Each structure stands twice: as structure tokens, then as C-alpha cells.
Amino acid sequence: MPDVPPRPEPFTPQTDPAALEDLRVRLRATRWPDAPEDAGWSLGTDLGYLRELVAYWADGFDWPAQEAALARLPRFRVPLGGLGIHFVHARAVAPAGPVLPLILTHGWPDSFWRYAKVVPLLTDPGSHGADPADAFDVVVPDIPGFGYSDRPTGPPLESVAVAGLWAELMDVLGYPRFGAAGGDLGSHVSRYLGLDHADRVVAVHRTDAGLPVFSGDPAELAPEERAWFESAAAWGATEGAYAAMHRTKPQTAAFGLTDSPAGLAAWIVEKLRAWSDCDGDIERSFTKDEILTNVTLYWLTGTIGSSMRMYRANAAIPAAQYARRVEVPSGFSLFRGDVVRPPRAWLERTADVVRVTEPPRGGHFAAFEEPELYAEELRAFFRPYRSSATG
């Protein structure tokens, strides 16, 4: 008897009111740390700002309204590799030409939330002042251990394995050829889609190149590459403690972050501020409702520990994997406010680069911070590859 392929099922979560009441009780009972006078954000999350955010989370934030807004995206779950995978699957609206399937992969600390604003701009460009011929079918999965995808009960999955799952997902959805895009962890996953599934991926777009890994002779590096390695090391020394924790002892931090919603918010909010193009004012990039939607997704799904464990899994990827060059056409949009932006020489060393741009606004979460700019970057990059996905 032939194997029956997995079938996606519509997915619309509705939070138990008791879970929200428990959250409010915990928020109101927060035991606050002290902080030196005028410390601000210099030691991590600012105490005054977090007090304000937590007070709003407890008594002003309307999660059911945010949950309903997210439910307007067509969402599904499907079993793959022994795990239930949650994903958005939004088809092109009134396309005026070949439709390119596109899979978008998020990073940390987020989920499918990262792309919530950009999905309609990509599926229905004609209604947003762009060319209807640039319409995409958009797929946005939650990485296992993030959002509404299952948490692996065994070893966490690394980016190579996730890329394999995404290739299987696109097969289930009937897309033999497709484009891939992402940032942060999603940049890694998209890279491995291009490396391991080059017969199916028409092109790869990324907003970063990750932190540099190079096991060759440093003399081979161009001066700008060596300078970038130095700046990346300096960034890691001052900003990378979170990643060291995730790579080494994620379970220790998971106890406190899973138990305390204020602690969870502090861990995530500091990164939203530091990595976005907000010039120190987080609410220039995200409203309180947007911040808390992201954080509440982590709280209700209990995924902060499982999301951090992916860093440990990725740390075990063999160095030889990083030495591979992506030979499918690759593009990079290096947004102004992102961290550790690579030089072109490094990009060309690691990929078949056909386009590099430097958008004037936006940071690490560009798809959420500047959805119109991000959508235009994807439209322009993938335009030449539409026919190769359908021909």
C-alpha cells in the first residue's frame, strides 16, 4: 500500500482564558531587581521601561485581539519528520504572470510573527502600489521549537535539518521549485536550502551572512574581510553573552524565563531594541502591542527554552559545512541598522552573489520594521527567476 502523503490541516489557536489570567497574576506579582541610578539600557534591559511594559501587559494589552489579527493569515499544521509544523500558506492574489513560491524563515527571538506584516504585500502587490506581476505564493513556517510548531523532545534540530524539513514541506504543498529567503537563523536555513536542494531552489535572498566562520589561511582574506572578522569578534565580546548562554547552558536560563513573564520580556525586549534601527528608542520600531504579541507567543507556547537550544545544535555543525559555497543565485539586503554587516568580498567568497543592496532604513527585523522596503527588496531580487520556478 503506497504511503499517504501528510495533509495540512487549518490551524486557528484560541487561548484558554485561564492561561491569560495566570499570566496577569504572574505579571502583577513580579519581584523586581534593583538597578544603579541612571543605568538605563547600559547593563541590559532598562528597569523603568520594563516596569511600564509589564504594567501594560497585565492591564492594557489585548491578546485576544492580537490573536484574532494573526488568525487572518491562512495558517496550517502538518506532520513532518515526526513533528507538527505550523506555517502560514498565503497564495498570490490576482497574479498577472508566473507566480513564484517563496519560503520565508524567521530567526530568534521571534517566529512567523516576523513576517506578519509583509505577507499581504508579497501576495497582493497590486493592492499595495506595486506590480501585480510580482505576486508570490508565500510560506512562513515556525522552526521546530518556535511558535506553534512542536518542540523536539530529543536533540534540537540544527539549520541543516530544518532546511531538509522545509524542502519536504514545499513538496507537500506542491512546489517543485521555489525561492528561499530569511534572516538570522532563517539566513542559515535559507543558505542550506540553496546548498542541499539546489535542484529545487531558484534563488536565495538573505538579510545577513551570520557571524563569520573561516578555517582557511587568514592570509587569503581581503583586508575588509579581516576587518569584519575583528569587528564581529568585538561585537561578540560586548553583545554576545546571550548566544554563549544559548550555545552552552540554555536549559539553565530556560527555568527562569519559562517561569517569569517579566524575565522573558526582559530577555527578548533588549534584543528587539539593540538589533533594530530605532536609535535607542524601541518604540520607533515596535509598538507595545507588537512587542507583547511576540513575547506572548513565546509565553503561551512555552518555547523560549526550545528556541534557545537551536543555538547549541547549530554550534555542533561541522566546520566543513561553513566552507561550502552557495552556487544558486544569491542576493543580500544589508539593512542600515542590522548588526555585524558583512563586506561584499565575504559574500562573494561564500555565495554566487548577483545582487547586494543597502536599504536606508531597517534593522535585524527588517521584514517587521520596514515591511514595504523589505517587500520591494524581495520583488526586485526574485523578478528574474520567476519563469524558472514555473517552466
- The set of catalytic residues is 184, 311, 364
Angle at 64 between CA 303 and CA 292, to 5 degrees: 50
Place of cell 515596535: 286
C-alpha distances out from residue 353 to 218, 319, 380, Å: 22, 22, 14
How far is residue 367's CA from residue 92's CA, in Å, rounded to a whole number?
18
CA torsion 88-94-96-97 (nearest 10°) is 40
Residue count of the chain: 391
Q: Which three cell numbers stand for residue 148?
A: 506553534
C-alpha distances out from residue 298 to 68, 97, 113, 285, 302, Å: 17, 38, 11, 20, 6
Angle at 129 between CA 112 and CA 134, to 5 degrees: 65
**Beta-carbon count within 10 A of 154 CB:** 6
Whether the CB-CB separation of 280 and 273 falls below 8 Å is answered with: yes
Q: Which three cell numbers stand for residue 249?
A: 547552558
Q: What pairing do the DSSP bridges indicate for beta strands 9-10 and 75-80?
A: antiparallel
SS3 state of residue 180: strand
How far is residue 85's CA from residue 155's CA, in Å, rounded to a whole number?
17
Whether the CB-CB separation of 295 and 264 falls below 8 Å is answered with: yes
**Beta-carbon count within 10 A of 327 CB:** 11
* 26 exposure class (CB count in 10 Å sphere: 0-12, 13-18, 19+): middle
